[in-house]
Amino acid sequence: MSSNPLQACLDILTSPRDTFDAIKDKKGWSWAPFGLVVVSTIALFLYYFSVVDFEWMLDQMLEQMAVQNEMSAEQLQATQEFMTKTSMTWSTLLGGAIGIIVINAFMAVYLNLITKVYSPNEMTFTAWYGFSWWTSMPFVISSLLAALVIMFSSAGMVSLDDLSPTSLGFLADRSSPWFGFFGGINLFSFWSIALGTIGLSSWLGLAAKKAFIIAVAPSLVIYGCWALYIGFSG
């Protein structure tokens, strides 16, 4: 059994069922995964922008944007003037950190509502918000893997897309609108869903199939709508 919050952060990755059983009544421990996920995200992007060849990265991004969005030379010039190293660093840092905070808040709202239907319980939004951070722990490993990608990159020539080597982005060309779609699906997303399934089964006593449906539903809805948008807009 996990003896402290930081130990639980490690145990959630290696012994998730036992850890969820142990932390069910320790809601105050969720500060640990929250801190690790947010800090690792911020640290990753700080490291990235300190190493990357920014001019090379900018050329790659503008080339991709020009193809995907059919932008004119004037539009590209205006975009390039805005995309300074400082603005890109701060927007990526804030977007990454605030993005996962907001996403987990929405996930907590969803779990707070949907679990009342499947299994009447007294769990609150705060409890489910903490739960969402525990299921986000695989993304700390993802950040460490991305840091290794940066470390072994050639002369800083590594794109933001390269920071997710376990994604399905290889299934589409970088110029394709499907590239972002497949790039958003990676091993750590599946790992997080698996933790959600185990956690729901532990905390609510749900059957594995029912817990999996609840855990995977948001991703299916999001990616389903995204696929429809790409399909109809293309």
Can you give the pTM of this predicted structure?
0.91
Q: Which residues of the chain have pLDDT under 70?
A: 1, 66-72, 234
Contact 56, 157 (CB under 8 A): yes
83-103 pLDDT per residue, tens = 889 999 999 999 999 999 999
The domain segmentation of the chain, as residue ranges, is 5-233
What's residue 38's pLDDT? Answer: 97
- pLDDT of 175-219, one tens digit each? 788 888 999 999 999 999 999 999 999 999 999 999 999 999 999
Do 192 and 135 touch, CB atoms closer than 8 A? yes
Distances (CA, A) of 74 to 26, 77, 79, 115, 225: 56, 5, 9, 51, 32
